[in-house]
């Protein structure tokens, strides 16, 4: 069992320790997904439009695997109260395989995809249990603010790690692979306070004679599916989230590729670009978390998505690198806000005894999104690249035009997801959900 130091319910130390986990795992997102490994994989390990396609497949493969296991893991966490143990297991997987990316070089396509997929499974799987701990460190009145602050602090962690990486790459001229070792160590150190000082509130339930934890988890999961009509607002929200999260994940997964291909952003500039995005994202997460508590989580996500849609429309028309940085900052501001508040909505729509399980369902939506979205983006941009090339366009113009189609598909997912979100009930701590 993970060692913990007893603390008072929802005290400051537990909350700050919970924040620190976001500080570390955001470094993984910033370095591996956004600034370094995605561009390194596309440009160095593979190269060309094929790199974009294979990157989409790698991201999607990890996503669908997590989507399959998340509901069961969430149910196990609810029943056994093993959220911290499961968080530890998946965090360890992510950290180990992030570090192993150090050994990936040009042409190591299979190795790169396997190591990345396993690191991504660990990262995404851990997120289910980290999010589920939100109810252990926040009250119903403060849950939006705490979620937003966690996301904001996480964004700062991404910035700190990127600054360290940039200093190593430019100041000491080390190979880019060292960025992955630094990220793994940074993630591990930042996650430690959560395992030491965040305490789960509920004690494990006792199993009846002849039952096992896994068996009871599947039984509870089946019961939830049977009673799903009682949770229709959550189902509507999950559908909306699935669709708009497609757009968010597509933008995150391909931001570095878009910048490098369309605007000629090099590795150093990409790191600076992501630092700007992370700083803007910290402000967005903090602000939209405040809006969530003062108005509602639904309204907060709607405002964030409207701003993000405007940024994507602008991306279709801009030509200069400077404007790309400006649009990226706006997108990062709204994107982080939408993500931070989206996770707090789950705890507002879920029955108290099924919070981790419902986070598992949200993970199904989110991970399915990260499978469908990158697959659509990568396949559409690759096929349109071939279409333009077959009609006499040169390789560069064909790749650029193909990526524009991919950007257009992001916009479609965001708009449709927003329309579905409008149908979800507005929930606040003064007007909470009730369950029969």
The pLDDT tens digits of the residues spanning 344-400 come to: 787 778 777 666 667 666 655 555 556 788 888 988 999 999 999 999 999 899 999
The pLDDT value given to residue 68: 76
- Under the banding of pLDDT at 50, 70 and 90, the label for residue 3 is very low
Separation of alpha carbons 310 and 415, rounded Å: 10
Whole-model pTM: value is 0.77
Residue 1 has pLDDT above 50, yes or no: no
Looking at residue 202, its pLDDT comes to 55
Taking residues 9-29, report their average pLDDT.
86
Rounded to the nearest integer, the mean pLDDT of the chain is 84
Q: Which residue has the higher pLDDT, 83 or 16?
A: 16
Instruction: List, for residues 163-201, the tens digit of each pLDDT value.
Output: 999 999 988 999 999 999 999 999 999 999 999 999 877
**CB 106: neighbour CB atoms within 10 A?**
12
Q: Which residues contact 212 (CB under 8 A, 6 or more apart)?
A: none
Cβ neighbours of residue 128 closer than 8 Å, sequence gap 6 or more: 70, 73, 74, 77, 86, 90, 356, 359, 360, 363
pLDDT confidence of 5, banded at 50, 70, 90? very low
Question: Percent of the chain at pLDDT above 90?
Answer: 43
Helix axes 355-389, 213-226, angle to 10 degrees: 70
Half-sphere exposure of 309 (CA within 13 A, CB side): 16
pLDDT at 4: 39
User: pLDDT band for position 205 (50/70/90)?
Assistant: low
pLDDT at 403: 93
* Crossing angle for the helix pair 12-28 and 109-132, to the nearest 10 degrees: 160
Q: Which residue has the higher pLDDT, 342 or 99?
A: 99
What would the mean pLDDT of 326-352 be, rounded to a whole number? Answer: 85
CATH number for the domain formed by residue range(s) 14-197+226-421: 1.20.1250.20
Does position 217 have pLDDT exceeding 80, yes or no?
A: no
DSSP letter assigned to residue 231: G
pLDDT band for position 6 (50/70/90)? very low
Mean pLDDT of 96-117: 97
Ramachandran sector of residue 198 (left: φ over 0; alpha: ψ -120 to 50; beta: rest): beta
Q: Residue 104 in 3-state DSSP? A: coil
Question: What count of other Cβ atoms lies within 10 Å of the Cβ of residue 423?
Answer: 11
Chain segment 255-303, per-residue pLDDT in tens = 888 998 899 998 889 999 989 988 898 888 888 888 888 888 889 999 9
| Eight-class DSSP state of 205 | P
Please check whether residue 384 is in contact with residue 54, taking contact to mean a CB–CB distance below 8 angstroms: no
Least reliable range by pLDDT among 242-251, 323-332, 355-364? 355-364
Q: Is the pLDDT of residue 2 over 70?
A: no
Average of per-residue pLDDT across 213-228:
67
Please tell me which residue, 95 or 197, carries the higher pLDDT value. 95
Instruction: Parse the chain into domains and list their residue ranges.
Output: 14-197+226-421
Q: What is the DSSP letter of 25?
A: H
Reply yes or no on whether the pLDDT at 425 is more than 70. yes
Contact present, 414 and 302 (Cβ < 8 Å): no
Q: With b meaning 16 or more CB within 10 Å and e meaning fewer, what string describes 374-412?
A: bbbbbbbbbebbeebbeeebeeeebbbbbbebbbbbbbe
- Mean pLDDT value of segment 335-341: 86
Burial of 413 (0-12, 13-18, 19+ CB in 10 A): buried
> What pLDDT is attached to residue 422?
93
């Amino acid at each position: 069992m993970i060692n913990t130091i007893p603390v008072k319910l929802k005290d400051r130390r537990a909350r700050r320790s919970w924040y620190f986990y976001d500080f570390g795992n955001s470094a993984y997102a910033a370095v591996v997904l956004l600034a370094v490994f995605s561009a390194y994989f596309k440009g160095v390990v593979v190269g060309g439009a094929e790199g974009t396609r294979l990157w989409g497949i790698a991201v999607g493969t990890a996503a669908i695997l997590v989507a399959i296991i998340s509901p069961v893991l969430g149910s196990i966490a609810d029943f056994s109260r093993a959220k911290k143990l499961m968080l530890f297991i998946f965090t360890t997987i992510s950290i180990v395989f992030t570090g192993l990316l150090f050994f990936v070089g040009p042409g190591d396509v299979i190795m790169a995809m396997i190591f990345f997929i396993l690191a991504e499974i660990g990262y995404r799987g851990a997120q289910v249990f980290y999010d589920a701990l939100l109810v252990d460190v926040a009250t119903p009145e403060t849950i939006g603010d705490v979620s937003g602050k966690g996301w904001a602090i996480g964004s700062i962690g991404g910035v700190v790690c990127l600054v360290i990486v940039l200093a190593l790459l430019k100041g000491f001229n080390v190979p880019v692979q060292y960025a992955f070792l630094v990220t793994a160590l940074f993630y591990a150190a930042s996650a430690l306070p959560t395992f030491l000082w965040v305490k789960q509130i509920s004690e494990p339930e006792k199993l009846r004679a002849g039952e096992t934890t896994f068996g009871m988890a599947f039984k509870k999961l089946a019961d939830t599916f049977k009673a799903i009509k009682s949770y229709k607002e959550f189902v509507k929200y999950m559908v909306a989230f699935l669709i708009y999260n497609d757009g968010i994940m597509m933008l995150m997964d391909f931001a570095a590729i878009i910048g490098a291909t369309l605007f000629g952003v090099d590795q150093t500039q990409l790191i600076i670009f992501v630092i700007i995005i992370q700083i803007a994202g910290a402000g967005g997460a903090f602000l939209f978390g405040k809006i969530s508590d003062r108005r509602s989580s639904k309204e907060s996500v709607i405002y964030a998505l409207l701003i993000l849609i405007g940024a994507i429309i602008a991306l279709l028309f801009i030509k200069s690198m400077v404007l790309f940085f400006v649009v990226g900052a706006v997108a990062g501001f709204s994107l982080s806000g939408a993500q931070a508040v989206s996770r707090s909505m789950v705890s507002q729509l879920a029955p108290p005894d099924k919070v981790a399980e419902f986070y598992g369902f949200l993970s199904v939506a989110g991970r399915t999104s990260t499978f469908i979205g990158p697959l659509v983006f990568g396949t559409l941009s690759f096929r349109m690249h071939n279409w333009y090339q077959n009609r006499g366009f040169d390789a560069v113009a064909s790749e650029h035009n193909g990526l524009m189609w991919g950007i257009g598909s992001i916009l479609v997912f965001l708009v449709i997801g927003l329309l579905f979100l409008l149908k979800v009930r507005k929930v606040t701590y003064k007007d909470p959900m009730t369950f029969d």
